[in-house]
Structure 1
Amino acid sequence: MARSPIIVIGASAGGVPALRALVAALPVTLAAPVLVVLHIGANRSELPALLNAAGPVPAKHAEDGETIAPGHIYVAPPDRHIIVADGRLRLLRGPKENCARPAIDPLFRSVADSHGPDAVGVILTGNLNDGTVGLYEIKRRGGIAIGQDPDDAAYPEMPRSAADHVVLDYCLPLADIPELLIKLVDRKGGKDVAMPKSSSHQDGQEPEINDSQTFERPLTVTCPDCGGALKKYTVGSIVKFGCHIGHSYTAEVMAAAQFDEMEKVMRAAVRFLNERAEFCLQMAEHGGVAERDVSDEWHAASRQALDRAYKLRDLVEQDWLTPETSRRPALTLENQGDNRLLS
């Protein structure tokens, strides 16, 4: 079955002028969607408007769940990873990757998985190396890997990293990339390829970001006192945990200390949510009648924060399984003065 090609582009420092120059040379008849990640963090983004002013291909911020259409540019919105799953765009507030959200790697990995040989990945100007792993996955799945010539980039680190770690199909100055993309889309649009199988991550590889609720096992358990990594060891039949600072715990004490720390963090989150609700309420009351729409948004944000504060508080106060207490001696007159039994 003929499948539509898809173009994914990643950029960071110096990315706005580079992206504007690239899209200015793309035709409105482009027979492929273009997905763009620029490192903007949680800051407000005007990138779609800037791209619309630069070229004829319509650009917009991606919306969660929307289908992907050729001849459109979809931009990752602030503070959200963008991925492709089941032919649709998904926006995720998952963990930051390479200190960035949105990050380039999650998008590139998902497109490598969903489109395989029909994926065209492009790394433009930027610092550090976000996008290298994702571009490697695109190349591994039979897609096309393109890097801006580092000597042509305002910030060469990102494209240089891609060139150092991925066997690029093309390494070109920015001015030559649009024409290449047009030729690749025209060539790929006419060929039949098999739908790639979804991959499960192999041992030692980073799991792909998705919208499931599963968690990978932590690399280590950390010390409730200092946050350092804990090493598990045994003394006879006793299981102990210790960190390099010198804090040490038996398994039972460790479990209790970990639970106390968890409860503290969750109750702090309840407090922050409650304070957010109050702050938003004050902002709503400050707006007045003249700014009714804005005031309504602040009221809605206040109600949302308060609702989540109640839900989190209820979660904290539920009964929790505590196997660490199952072997604790019963309190008797003989041992009631030994506080260690109650710690």
Structure 2
Amino acid sequence: MPAPTHLIVVGTSAGGMPALVQLVAQLPATLPAAVLVVQHFASDTDGQQLVSRLARHTALDCRLPVDGEPLRPGALYLAPPDRHLLAKDGSVAHVLVTKGPRENRYRPSADALFRSAAVAYGPRTVGIVLTGMLHDGTAGLEFIKRCGGVAIVQDPAEAEFPSMPESALRHVDVDYVVPLALMGDLLDEITRGVVPERKVEVPADLKQEAAIAERVVGTVAAVAALGHHVPLTCPDCGGTLWEMNQGKVLRYRCHTGHAFTADALLRKSQQSLEESLWVALRMMEERKHLLSSMALRGDVLHPGHQEERIGEIKKHTERLREFLLNGAGGSPDSTAATPAD
């Protein structure tokens, strides 16, 4: 079996399965490329059911891959639930299925897949971002562009959830913005045309990041070589963060392997701030209740001072409550969603 001429990598989230069905229905069994898909879903989702659903609508050989499985043309590989799907070149191009650290709080992550494909296949990589919420896939498309590949985004005007396509368009020099109905012909044209030679040198930082993902965990030395230390902490493990030096998309990494775009990190910090404020509100309410109970029992030396303390706590709790009800400082993105969307 010959190796695929191209890797087509697809990232999608909310509204993704109907979009994937429409896309893969246009692709023939004779497609010379392999198709690798990251769809965000909950960790307890039955991945085989999703594969079977796609298989009913396409001539592609749809598979839930296992680690080390060879990549074949005319085949579709769907990332298993709660596992990263990576591409790896070698004597035989194959997939890696790992449970490495989350990227942008996702596992599987479109960014992780896109980066591995860009490093493995360079200019023969085609990245596609479909409907979804938040920002996964944006940095991944930039990785593909830096390695000479092609970036395609579903037209946000027709996407059920346009956040992912819009994020990609804001940050990346995308090659094509097309509706789903035209995407099959475009992929056929790209993959059946002249196969690019691997003349583009893969950037050293992307090779290093791909290696970190393959090893599952990173090291301080490895991440320090990629960026500079900043006074921020990883929201997933509490470790320190490094700001990546390369690329147009602002990104951060910790030494254990967690990675974030600035947008994803901002969203997580917003959530952490809100959670902390709710804890503070709860503790102040409890303190007010305790002071009031003590005052009622005459268990205080200076009742006037006690009433003053209770009044101050009431003012603080009202300010906190108002702040929380008004959005805890404002949401960084109006299209909020959880990683399992």
Same fold by TM-score, threshold 0.5 exceeded? yes
1:53 to 47, 50, 56: 56
**Deviations 1:210-264 (CA, angstroms, capped at 9, x unpaired):** 32266232868999xxx9889xxxxxxxxxxxxxxxxxxxxxxxxxxxxxxxxxx
d(CA) in 2 for partners of 1:103, 1:213: 13
Could you say if the C-alpha distance between residues 213 and 177 of structure 1 is closer, same or farther in structure 2, counting changes exceeding 3 Å?
A: closer
TM-fit CA distance, 1:80: 0.4
Could you say if the C-alpha distance between residues 113 and 156 of structure 1 is closer, same or farther in structure 2, counting changes exceeding 3 Å?
A: same
- Aligned-residue sequence identity (percent) comes to 41
Could you say if the C-alpha distance between residues 206 and 100 of structure 1 is closer, same or farther in structure 2, counting changes exceeding 3 Å?
A: farther
TM-fit CA distance, 1:141: 1.1
Secondary structure in structure 1 of the residue aligned to 2:209 = coil
d(CA) in 1 for partners of 2:154, 2:232: 42
* 8 Å contact kept, 2:147–2:201: no
d(CA) in 2 for partners of 1:83, 1:134: 12
Compute the RMSD of aligned alpha carbons. 2.8
d(CA) in 2 for partners of 1:26, 1:17: 15
Name which one, 1 or 2, has greater alpha-carbon Rg.
Answer: 1
Name the aligned partner's letter for residue 200 of structure 1.
Answer: A
* 8 Å contact kept, 1:129–1:158: yes
Q: Which residue of 2 aligns with 1:200?
A: 204
TM-fit CA distance, 1:29: 1.1
* Structure 1 residues not aligned, in runs of 5+: 231-343
1:133 to 139, 142, 160: 139
Q: How does 1:132-281 map to 2 (within 5 A)?
A: 132-187=138-193, 190-194=194-198, 197-201=201-205, 207-208=209-210, 209-212=212-215, 215-217=218-220
Could you say if the C-alpha distance between residues 89 and 222 of structure 1 is closer, same or farther in structure 2, counting changes exceeding 3 Å?
A: same
* Structure 2 residues not aligned, in runs of 5+: 224-228, 241-341
Secondary structure in structure 2 of the residue aligned to 1:84 = strand
* 8 Å contact kept, 1:135–1:145: yes
* 8 Å contact kept, 2:84–2:112: yes
How many matched pairs? Answer: 222
Could you say if the C-alpha distance between residues 59 and 214 of structure 1 is closer, same or farther in structure 2, counting changes exceeding 3 Å?
A: closer
Q: TM-score, normalised by structure 2?
A: 0.60
Q: TM-score, normalised by structure 1?
A: 0.60
Q: Which residue of 2 aligns with 1:76?
A: 79
* 8 Å contact kept, 1:113–1:197: no
d(CA) in 2 for partners of 1:83, 1:30: 20
Could you say if the C-alpha distance between residues 125 and 229 of structure 1 is closer, same or farther in structure 2, counting changes exceeding 3 Å?
A: closer
Secondary structure in structure 2 of the residue aligned to 1:146 = strand
Could you say if the C-alpha distance between residues 63 and 151 of structure 1 is closer, same or farther in structure 2, counting changes exceeding 3 Å?
A: same
